[in-house]
């Protein structure tokens, strides 16, 4: 049983991604780690080279902006890395996602448990979506609660949409033609992904959001984020757990303050109505699931 980690990144330092921590967090359980590194000017590639040259394979890429609509360039980059893995299982970690060291044994145990059960095609992991600082997580119905991050390697399993998850396709040609694909049959591992998508100084977060929206065709002018406000969100709650050890330096060096003010929160009308109901029921009504839980 061989586990291959894989990811993609471009100018990780410039946009404040904890990409080195992401790689290091799962490297101990990976037999290899493949990362597609886009053309970078901030030392991203050089930093990755120094981590573990024997275990990490860098695939140099150029981001094709023909695929920037709906973030498809992210899926393209994920697939480039995926095409270079050689393991039986693929573990996808994005540049702002980190796994806690205490959960690595759970992940390995689950993979071993179902390694010979072909009905299990992959695993979903729960998410902590950090926002504003390392002390808060977003908990509204607008965030995805689980996603496929580990799956059996198969040339017909490809990154779905903007690399949020993965699906199985009938052929590579139909994937390229826009086929929706089949959701993977998965089991759940209670090993949360620490998603640090909204933890940066304001200026860097503004730059990151501008580029992210540009790649999704939502924004074209950086001026749209000159007044970026972390309080412009629906709901966050205080995080009382411990961060992964690889994140200690970043957590300790946070040099900005953020305290969530519920009075400034912004809700979509539907969400404002549905959130109290779902909190009472304990589940999300009509939740979108990019997988089949078995």
Q: Which of 213, 259, 257, 205 is nearest to 236 (CA)?
A: 259
Angle at alpha carbon of residue 250, lines to 244 and 256, rounded to 5°: 130
* Among 120, 169, 172, residue whose Cα is nearest residue 148: 120
Q: What is the pLDDT of residue 217?
A: 64
pTM, entire model: 0.93
pLDDT digits (tens, 9 = 90+) for 168-210: 999 988 787 778 899 999 999 999 999 999 998 888 887 777 7
% helix, strand, coil for the chain, step of 5: 30, 25, 45
- Count of CB atoms situated within 10 Å of the CB of 214: 15
Assigned token pair, 59: 């695939």
Distance CA 215, CA 73 (A): 8
pLDDT, tens digit (0-9, with 9 covering 90-100), for 215-238: 666 555 445 556 578 888 999 999
Cα distance between residue 231 and residue 225, in whole Å = 14
Token digits for 69?
A: 């609509």
Average pLDDT along the chain: 91
β pairing state of 165-168 and 182-183: antiparallel
**pLDDT of 89:** 98
Residue 252 region by backbone torsions, left for phi larger than 0, else alpha for psi between -120 and 50, else beta: alpha
- Which sequence spans correspond to the domains of the chain? 1-282+289-294
Fold of 1-282+289-294: Spore Coat Polysaccharide Biosynthesis Protein SpsA; Chain A (3.90.550)
Strands 292-293 and 185-188: parallel
Ranges under pLDDT 70 in the chain: 68-70, 214-227
Q: Is the distance from CB of 47 to CB of 13 less than 8 angstroms?
A: yes
């Amino acid at each position: 049983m061989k586990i291959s980690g894989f990811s993609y990144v471009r100018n990780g330092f410039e946009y404040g991604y904890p990409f080195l921590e992401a790689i290091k967090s799962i490297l101990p359980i990976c037999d290899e780690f493949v990362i597609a590194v886009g053309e970078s000017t901030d030392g991203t590639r050089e930093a990755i080279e120094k981590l573990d040259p024997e275990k990490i394979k860098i695939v140099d890429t150029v981001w094709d902006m023909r695929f920037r609509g709906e973030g498809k360039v992210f899926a393209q980059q994920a697939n480039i890395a995926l095409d270079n893995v050689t393991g039986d299982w693929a573990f996808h970690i994005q540049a702002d996602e980190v796994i806690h060291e205490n959960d690595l044994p759970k992940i390995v145990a689950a993979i071993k448990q179902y390694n010979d059960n072909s009905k299990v095609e992959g695993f979903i992991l729960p998410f902590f979506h950090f926002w504003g600082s390392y002390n808060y997580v977003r908990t509204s119905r607008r965030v995805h609660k689980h996603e496929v991050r580990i799956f059996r390697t198969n040339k017909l399993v490809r990154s779905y949409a903007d690399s949020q998850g993965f699906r199985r396709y009938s052929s590579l040609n139909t994937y390229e033609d826009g086929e929706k694909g089949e959701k993977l049959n998965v089991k759940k591992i209670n090993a949360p992904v620490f998603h640090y998508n909204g933890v940066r100084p304001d200026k860097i977060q503004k730059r990151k959001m501008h580029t992210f929206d540009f790649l999704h065709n939502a924004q074209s002018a950086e001026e749209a984020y000159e007044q970026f406000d972390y309080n412009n969100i629906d709901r966050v709650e205080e995080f009382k757990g411990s961060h992964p050890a690889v994140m200690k330096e970043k957590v300790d060096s946070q040099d900005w303050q953020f305290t969530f003010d519920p009075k400034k929160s912004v809700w979509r009308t539907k969400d404002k109505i549905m959130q109290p109901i779902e909190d009472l029921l304990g589940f999300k009504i009509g939740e979108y699931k990019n997988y089949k839980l078995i």
